C-alpha cells in the first residue's frame, strides 16, 4: 500500500501503531473532539487512555485550541474525582494527550444498561455518583475552572466505585480566559444539560455546572433529563418555558428533601441556584446520607477489595451493581460500590 493510501485510512487504523512511547492497542470510543484509545507505555508496560485529535480537526484553529485547552485545564487539576492528564504531545502531526485509564463505563453507558434491563438506577447509587462529581467540581471551581459540559457521557464510573470527571474541552478559567472560541460559535455544550444562560455567547459561571449536574441527577433518577426535545431549538423553547415533571411525580421514592435539592440545582435562573458546589454537597448529604457514606468508601479504596471465596459481594448497603448486557432479573443489594462489566 502506498504511503498516500495509508494516510487516507480511517483513524482506527492507528490501532497497533506507536504514538510517542505508547502503542495503541484498541479503540475505546470516539467523539467530536477525538478518538480515545487504549494504549500501553512500551517501557513501563502500563495501560493508559490516549486521546488523539483527528487530522481534519487539526486544520481547525478552534478545534485545536479546545484540544490543547482540555489538556492544559485537566493537567492543572489534581483530585480523585477528575481524570488526570499526565502527558500531552505532538507526534508525526498527531496531537495527543495521555490520561489515566478508568476501568469502567460512562454514566451514559450505565443508563443504557439499566434501560435495557428495564430497571431504574438505584437512588443511593445515583446520588453517590453525582455527589462524587460535585466534589470534583467543587475543587475545580475553587481552582477557578468551570467545566461547561457536564453530562453522563463525561462522568466515568470505575470498577472501584470511584467516579471521575472527564473531557475538559469546553472548560475555561473564570478570569483572564480567551473567549475567542465561544465568540465564534453559537452553542457550546450539550443542549439537554445546558442552562438557559449557556445558550448565548455570553460568559457563564460555575452555576452552569450546577445546573448540568442537577440535570444529570434528574436523568439518573427519572429516566431522562428534565427538558428533552427532537432538536436544539425545541429544547431551547421548552427550557424557556421551564415546564417539566417534578422528580417525585416521576419516581415516588425520591424524598421531599432530595427533590428540593434537585429542583434547586436546575432552577431556570442562575441566581436562584445554590451559590456553590459546597452548598450542593451539603444539600445532597442532608437528603441522602447513605450516598455520602458510599462515596467515602469508594474514595478510601475499600470498594476495590476482592470478594471472599464464597463469592459474596461486599458492595456497600444500598449500592447495586450495574446490569450485565442481558440481565432479566434484578440483582441483590449487598455491600460494595457499583461494579461494572467490561
Q: Annotated catalytic sites, by residue?
A: 149
CA distances from 298 to 2, 13, 114, 158, 301 (A): 51, 37, 21, 10, 5
CA distance 325 to 157: 16
Cβ atoms < 10 Å from Cβ of 183? 8
**Do 336 and 342 meet the contact criterion of CB atoms below 8 Å apart?**
no
User: CA triplet 190, 195, 201: central angle to 5 degrees?
Assistant: 80
Q: H-type helices in the chain, by residue range?
A: 3-7, 55-58, 61-76, 107-116, 123-142, 180-183, 207-222, 232-241, 247-250, 256-265, 277-287, 289-300
Amino acid at each position: 500500500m502506498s504511503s498516500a493510501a495509508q494516510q487516507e485510512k480511517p483513524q482506527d487504523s492507528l490501532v497497533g501503531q506507536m504514538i510517542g512511547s505508547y502503542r495503541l492497542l484498541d479503540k475505546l470510543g470516539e467523539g467530536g473532539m477525538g478518538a480515545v484509545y487504549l494504549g500501553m507505555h512500551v517501557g513501563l508496560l502500563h495501560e493508559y487512555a490516549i486521546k488523539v485529535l483527528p487530522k481534519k480537526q487539526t486544520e481547525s484553529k478552534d478545534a485545536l485550541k479546545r484540544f490543547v485547552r482540555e489538556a492544559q485545564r485537566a493537567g492543572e487539576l489534581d483530585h480523585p474525582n477528575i481524570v488526570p492528564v499526565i502527558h500531552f504531545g505532538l507526534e508525526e502531526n498527531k496531537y495527543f494527550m495521555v490520561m489515566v485509564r478508568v476501568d469502567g463505563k460512562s454514566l451514559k453507558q450505565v443508563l443504557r444498561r439499566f434501560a435495557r434491563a428495564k430497571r431504574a438506577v438505584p437512588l443511593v447509587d445515583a446520588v453517590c455518583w453525582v455527589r462524587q462529581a460535585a466534589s470534583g467540581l467543587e475543587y475545580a471551581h475553587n481552582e477557578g475552572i468551570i467545566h461547561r459540559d457536564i453530562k453522563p457521557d463525561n462522568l466515568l464510573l470505575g470498577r472501584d466505585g470511584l467516579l471521575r470527571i472527564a473531557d475538559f474541552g469546553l472548560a475555561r478559567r473564570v478570569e483572564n480566559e480567551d473567549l475567542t472560541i465561544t465568540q465564534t460559535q453559537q452553542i457550546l455544550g450539550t443542549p439537554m444539560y445546558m442552562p438557559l444562560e449557556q445558550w448565548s455567547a455570553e460568559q457563564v459561571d460555575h452555576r452552569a455546572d450546577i445546573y448540568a449536574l442537577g440535570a444529570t441527577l434528574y436523568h439518573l433518577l427519572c429516566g431522562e433529563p428534565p427538558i428533552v426535545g427532537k432538536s436544539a431549538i425545541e429544547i431551547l423553547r421548552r427550557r424557556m418555558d421551564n415546564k417539566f415533571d417534578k422528580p417525585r411525580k416521576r419516581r415516588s421514592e425520591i424524598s421531599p428533601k432530595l427533590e428540593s435539592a434537585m429542583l434547586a440545582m436546575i432552577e431556570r435562573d442562575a441566581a436562584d441556584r445554590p451559590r456553590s458546589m459546597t452548598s450542593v454537597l451539603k444539600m445532597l448529604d442532608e437528603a441522602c446520607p447513605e450516598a455520602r457514606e458510599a462515596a467515602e468508601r469508594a474514595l478510601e479504596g475499600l470498594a476495590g477489595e476482592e470478594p471472599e471465596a464464597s463469592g459474596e459481594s461486599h458492595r456497600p448497603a444500598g449500592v447495586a451493581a450495574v446490569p450485565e448486557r442481558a440481565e432479566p432479573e434484578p440483582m441483590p443489594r449487598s455491600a460494595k460500590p457499583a461494579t461494572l462489566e467490561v
